[in-house]
Amino acid sequence: MASWTQTRPSSEAYGSPVHSKHSPTRVFTRKLGLNELGFYYDGKINGTADSVSHSTLRAAPGIVTLTNVTRVWTMLKHRYPLLGASVYHVDSEPQLRVDEDRLASLSVGELTWATVPTKETANALAASIVHEERKLSDALLARVEVWTQNDEPSISHLMIHLAHLITDGVSGTNLLRTFLTFLSSPEDNLNGPIPAIETRLALAVSAESLTPPARSFSLARQRWRKAAGKIISKMQDSKRQGGHTLPRAFGPIAARIPARSAMRRVQLSPAETSRLLQNCRHCRITVGNALPVLAQVALARVLCRKFLRGEIEAAEWEFRRQQPSHTAGPVNIRPYLDSNWYQAGGKENVSVYVGYFYLTASFTPLPRLSLGDRLPEMTELMSHGRFLLRCNRMKQLATKYLQHPLFFEIGAARLENKIPIQKEVAQKIISGQKFADPNTLNASPMEQVRHTGSVFSHAWSTFGNVLSFPSAQNSSPDYSIT
């Protein structure tokens, strides 16, 4: 599924011809995979799924220059050709297109170079990218911005802005690592041959084309497994009942103004990061096992504050005390895909290869409170022992999910069910159609459950940048990252 096809250059994609010193240039196209298609429509919903990473670099003179960054970004596009890809439509269906010429040059808006007065200005500008008019488009799926800092010339800010249909958490980490490695390497060390585009595109195929069932079973057996996956996914979803999420209130402006992302930036030192990971290993859990439980405790703290301020009524409080926390999050499926592809470089290629966990933690740790009581401490909401018990429960559920013989088919069924909804919302936004009156969405937690059967408390994604620069082998690095 979704294999690349080589075509002749076309002037029909964006109404302008493809220019090249070499004629004819090569153009490669393929259909989008399920996850890619869903993320494509998410991008049309005010860029809601776009990825923006902000790294602060401290570099020696001559490292972070416009010439150097341009060279590195062009090299990265040859290495990861989806960075230079575009989307065009065939019979109203979006497809990926890679023009060989675009990998060797910069498009309008692809690289921005600017200066900022201070670190605080850079942080504010970085946060504003997701709120401004979308800078990515069907013709531009990846872009980079570099800001030099006036008050400290050795400091620069690197922004890598990607459409989710070509990246995921692992991709973003690998891209940043490779970018910084190339940026700090002497030019002579990087003057090797340009990677063959056919070889690199062979790594940038859809996840569906790399699953063991797609590689091992006949079409008839694949259809049987797909039908079974749909049935099992419906059965699993029907068992997911109850739940609650943050209190919400929609006003009349909600239908006209997109929601604004709210970010709280917390920077962990290398020592703190190391201790966090070591403690997880000591307890034989991962950060991913702990995140759903940490989020449940955080939700409980928010609800306690609102109850003690009189913002939650007693009936709602008692209802929430009995509800589980349903959550969802991504899982890197690269190790479960075709082994030859994985070893050839698929494990670090910039493209989308994630599946999704759907996990349920038992009742939310909400104590019996009365107005005027003090806010409970974290350990009063959940003891250390119960915290580890629930983390291990998340580990068991995740393992069971991954080991299901129809893991890929169940995941595909859920994606297929979601895509029509994403497409409908995207088309409404693009065409300017009216949505339902937001005031009709102001339902109580009890009404939400009665209407939908289950309510997700939260979801999570990549938990942060865990790259460590400089490396231990380099005692006097040309750059560091924070």
Q: Is 475 within a domain?
A: no
Indicate whether 326 and 254 sit together in one domain: yes
- The residue among 166 and 17 whose pLDDT is bigger is 166
Indicate whether 199 and 278 sit together in one domain: no
Overall pTM > 0.85: yes
Residue 123 C-beta-side C-alpha neighbours within 13 Å: 9
Q: What does the pLDDT read at residue 8?
A: 67
pLDDT tens digits along 150-194: 988 899 999 999 999 999 989 999 999 999 999 988 877 777 788
A 10 A CB-CB count for 142 gives: 24
Give the residue numbers spanning the domain of 75: 5-204
pLDDT tens digits along 242-253: 999 988 877 666
Cα end-to-end span (Å), the chain = 40
Contact in structure between 352 and 51 (CB atoms under 8 Å): no
- Provide the 8-state DSSP code for 64: S
Supply the CATH number for residue 399's domain.
Answer: 3.30.559
Q: Is 476 within a domain?
A: no
Q: What does the pLDDT read at residue 267?
A: 78
Indicate whether 319 and 436 sit together in one domain: yes
Q: At residue 1, does pLDDT exceed 50? A: no
Indicate whether 186 and 76 sit together in one domain: yes
Q: Is 88 within a domain?
A: yes
pLDDT tens digits along 442-462: 888 999 999 889 999 988 775
The neighbouring-strand residues paired with 148 are 115, 156
Indicate whether 238 and 360 sit together in one domain: yes
Least confident stretch, 89-93, 200-204, 373-377, 428-432? 428-432
Indicate whether 191 and 230 sit together in one domain: no
- The residue among 193 and 89 whose pLDDT is bigger is 89
Supply the CATH number for residue 47's domain.
Answer: 3.30.559.10
Beta strands 155-162; 142-149: pairing state: antiparallel
Mean predicted lDDT score pLDDT of the chain: 86
Q: Is 319 within a domain?
A: yes
pLDDT tens digits along 316-348: 999 999 999 999 888 899 999 999 999 999 999
Contact in structure between 21 and 45 (CB atoms under 8 Å): no
Indicate whether 252 and 180 sit together in one domain: no
Indicate whether 92 and 167 sit together in one domain: yes
Indicate whether 392 and 419 sit together in one domain: yes
Q: Is 359 within a domain?
A: yes
Q: Is 96 within a domain?
A: yes
Confidence band, pLDDT 50/70/90 cuts, at residue 9: low
Query: pLDDT above 70 covers what percent of the chain?
Result: 89
Q: Is 16 within a domain?
A: yes
Q: Is 218 within a domain?
A: yes
pLDDT tens digits along 264-305: 777 788 899 899 999 999 999 988 889 899 999 999 999 999
Indicate whether 437 and 369 sit together in one domain: yes
Indicate whether 196 and 224 sit together in one domain: no
Q: What does the pLDDT read at residue 20?
A: 42
Q: At residue 463, does pLDDT exceed 70? A: no
Considering its fold, how many domains does the chain have in total? 2
Indicate whether 135 and 193 sit together in one domain: yes
Which one, of 270, 271, 57, 76, lies nearest residue 174 by Cα? 76
